Structure 1
Amino acid sequence: MTAATTLLPALLGLVTGLSLIIAIGAQNAFVLRLGIEGRPRVIAPVVAIAAVSDAALILAGVLGMGALVTAAPAVMVVVRLVGAAFLVGYGLWAARRAIRPGALLVTGSPGSTGMRVAVGTVLALTWLNPHVYLDTVVFLGAVASQQDPAERWWWAGGAIAASVLWFTGLGFGARLLRPVFARPGAWRVLDGCIAVLMLALGARLAFDL
């Protein structure tokens, strides 16, 4: 197998993965906020969890487990409702930060997030969102199944690399925005936007829109 025959499927997997993951969503919004807070000891495990979780789900899709996801509608309904409740709760929490930032002030940035809360939140945003399963296990798994068997795992490697690159860049690159967020008002705007996004996503999940 030549370098060209392995590089091309890997690049296709990378582009496909990025096209899905870059879309604005709850997971990205949370990682962005943590990155702006600029606390490496918190953002590093969050980035790792998000990337490893995506990798596990992509591998599950490549191994053909998408059929199991689509064949278990009752389980997905439970995941959808629990995920919706979590998103609404987080949205209300973000709204409270936006309205009364001093009420949740911890050392560091306004409303800075502790390790346990950060890890628990990224796990919930990843594993309690049925759209994550549909995007990774079902959709990417279906695309992977269309690849030549000899190139399939190179394609999957490219898709996994997309997650690693995106979450690393988002988490650690967001610190470049810290000068903008030196003003408390900027944090209120950010938290207001996150609140709207989380509540909208929660409503969409709850009503299966």
Structure 2
Amino acid sequence: MSLSSSFASGFGLSAALIVAIGAQNMFVLRQGLRREHIVPIVMFCALADLALVAAGVAGIGQVLAILPGLAQVLTLGGTAFLLWYGLDALRRAIAPGTLVADAGGGNATLAAVLGRAVAFTFLNPHVYLDTVMLMGAAGGALPGAMRPVFVAGAGTASTTWFVALGFGARLLRPVFARPVAWRILDGLVAATMFALAGLLAARAWAGWH
């Protein structure tokens, strides 16, 4: 396999996995719409994705595969966090007084926003199944010299996606100039979080029985 095909393989697989409506993507989209600490959020998400892919290719995915107890802990933690964030979004959707739709963004501190980004990234069991284990298996099967190129391709795909999602969200600003649009978005966020939490809870229950 050539360097270009290794890069394309990493880019294509990463793009296929990351371009989906998930908790992390919904969070980045909302931050982009609010123009609230979007640069550090995009940088963190892209670098975290790159680090997870690199760890998977380096063999961490094999460790997770033989430690099902760790996967269960991550699943429960992710379920609790998604429920909490879903309830917070639902509160915003049904209480107009809590909405912030101004063009300048919100008042959340960088530490608070980054803390949520960390939770969305590392408390999501799917990131370990997809990014670490699946990407790790695909990249780890390549010859040693090709693995860094595969990781670079995957990192390029995730960086491109998060930049497009975070900064492209401003194109929707005219739509979200009305508070009702924020209520609809937060309603969709809440529904997404609850659905994902339900799926994670079902997976944890199945793992115990």
Q: Normalising by structure 2, what TM-score?
A: 0.91
Shift of 1:10: 0.7
1:51 aligns with 2:51: no
One-letter amino acid matched to 2:102? G
Partner residue of 1:198 out of 193, 196, 201: 193
Partner residue of 2:153 out of 153, 158, 161: 158
1:79 alignment partner in structure 2:
74
CA contact (8 A) 2:90 2:186 kept: yes
CA contact (8 A) 2:101 2:182 kept: no
Distance 2:186 2:117 in 1: 17
One-letter amino acid matched to 1:108? D
CA contact (8 A) 1:98 1:187 kept: yes
Partner residue of 2:102 out of 98, 108, 129: 108
Distance 2:96 2:184 in 1: 11
Shift of 1:117: 2.5
CA contact (8 A) 1:10 1:159 kept: yes
Cα deviation 1:24-60 (Å, max 9, x = unaligned): 1000000001101123xx1111111111111111000
The residue correspondences of 1:57-136 to structure 2 (distance < 5 A) are 57-102=52-97, 104-105=98-99, 108=102, 112=106, 114=108, 115-136=110-131
Distance 1:186 1:146 in 2: 46
1:167 alignment partner in structure 2:
162
Check 1:24–1:106 CA distance in 2 against 1; reply closer, same or farther (3 A cut): closer
2:32 alignment partner in structure 1:
35
Distance 1:82 1:111 in 2: 29
One-letter amino acid matched to 1:82? G
Shift of 1:113: 5.8
The residue correspondences of 1:179-194 to structure 2 (distance < 5 A) are 179-194=174-189
DSSP 3-state at the match of 1:91: helix
Runs of 4+ aligned structure 1 residues displaced above 6 Å come to none
DSSP 3-state at the match of 2:114: helix
Distance 2:123 2:115 in 1: 11
Check 1:190–1:105 CA distance in 2 against 1; reply closer, same or farther (3 A cut): closer
One-letter amino acid matched to 1:112? G
One-letter amino acid matched to 2:128? Y
> How big is the alpha-carbon RMSD for the aligned residues of Structure 1 and Structure 2?
1.9
Shift of 1:116: 2.7
Distance 1:206 1:135 in 2: 18
Identity of aligned residues (%): 47
Check 1:95–1:25 CA distance in 2 against 1; reply closer, same or farther (3 A cut): same
Q: Normalising by structure 1, what TM-score?
A: 0.91
Check 1:206–1:113 CA distance in 2 against 1; reply closer, same or farther (3 A cut): farther
Check 1:50–1:190 CA distance in 2 against 1; reply closer, same or farther (3 A cut): same
CA contact (8 A) 1:110 1:184 kept: no
